[in-house]
Structure 1
Amino acid sequence: MDMVEEFRGAQERLAVNNSTRWVQKWEPPVGLMYKVNFDAAVFADLDASGVGVVVRNDKGEVMASLAARGPPVRDSDEAETLACRRALEFAVEAGFSELILEGDNLTVMKSLISLKPNRSRLGHIVEEIQCISAGLHRFAVSFVKRNANTVAHALAKYARLIDEELVWLEECPQPALEPLYFDSLGLRQ
């Protein structure tokens, strides 16, 4: 009996937790707002970074997207902050003025909504982003997990393969077809 109890105890300690992890999905903006998702990638071997941006409407349709090679960066926070600024500049250049800016770097997203002066090495870039956003009709900031930001992530990774900035208007770029498809599946459920 002692060996049976020892066996059961060992089985309980070794049991794998079968609970499923919560997975966040991309959500379309509400009403007439547009959602601007952005992401960055660091290419240390190329001494460069990458930026991916996608602007979508309330139906999940791509209005505009961008993939661009960025400058060398110290770390992912710098890459994400620069990508955030480029995303907002791109959305404004494309004519959008009612935006939800969505990214997957919590540090960057928190810095954008902070009312305190940002004295970090990236503070001047955060202030530029805040200045640009102040000129918009409506603006909000949203943090999402990486799995809700896959289209922008695919575009940022694609930037490794290009030298100049690529822009697509009202069409789905090839590097983002698969993640965009999976996002659209979530919209129908």
Structure 2
Amino acid sequence: MVSDYRAYADRVITRPCLSSGVGDSVWSPPRAGFIKIITDAYMAGDESVGLGAVARDKDGRILWLGYWQVGAEWSVEVAEAKAAMFGLDIAKERGLSNIVLKCDALNLVRAVRDKNIARTPVGLCVEDLCTLLSFFESSKCCHVKRGGNIVAHCVARISERVGVATVLVTDFPQGVLSLAEIDLI
């Protein structure tokens, strides 16, 4: 009975990845049964923001990636939150149930973990992220340092056309595949 509860609790209880809140500096695989979704935003400087999201399994394989160039002048914090929402939207549409969301915006991760919802643009994004995370059977939101986020950072820079969101499930760009392979070394 205790082992059954532990197995159940491991699946449904959301825990912070690290007690300090500061994440890995290199890519690490999710535990078995989970998909890691790593997101990032790119401030293009031309009144647009690139959003990127990559889903990888425990073996490091890319399952899908998404990128979207949005015509907006968001703060970095809002852009990072929008990238995380973009990744979670794709994961939800693809029917994933157990996910680990990773991004390199530590303050955002802490706000989501603590459910720190303020009536600010970032706070409203945090509220949306918490809502999106609740749709999954099991989810975590964790910080990753830039070194563990390099693939998503590259993906956020792909799109050159504002307004076109793209999700790839095959035929990934060679540069992205190469970076993902380097992560596994």
Deviation of 1:170 (Å): 4.7
SS at match of 1:64: strand
**Aligned residue number for residue 169 of structure 1:** 169
Alpha-carbon separation, structure 1, partners of 2:31 and 2:171 = 21
Deviation of 1:162 (Å): 3.4
Pairing of 1:33-52 with structure 2 (within 5 A): 33-44=34-45, 46-52=46-52
TM-score by length of 2: 0.81
Pairing of 1:85-164 with structure 2 (within 5 A): 85-159=85-159, 161-163=160-162, 164=164
SS at match of 2:152: helix
**Aligned residue number for residue 64 of structure 2:** 64
Residues 66-115 of structure 1, C-alpha deviations (whole Å, 9 max, x = no match): 11112312321111011111111111111111100000011111111113
Contact 1:28 1:35 in 2 (8 A): yes
Deviation of 1:168 (Å): 1.1
Indicate the RMSD between aligned Cα atoms, in angstroms. Answer: 1.6
Contact 1:63 1:171 in 2 (8 A): no
Alpha-carbon separation, structure 1, partners of 2:31 and 2:158 = 29
Alpha-carbon separation, structure 1, partners of 2:107 and 2:116 = 14
Alpha-carbon separation, structure 2, partners of 1:98 and 1:75 = 30
The number of residues matched between the two structures is: 161
Deviation of 1:121 (Å): 2.5
Gap regions ≥5 residues in structure 1: 1-22
Gap regions ≥5 residues in structure 2: 1-23
Alpha-carbon separation, structure 2, partners of 1:104 and 1:182 = 19
TM-score by length of 1: 0.79
**Aligned residue number for residue 179 of structure 1:** 179
- Larger Rg over CA atoms: 1
Give % identity. 24
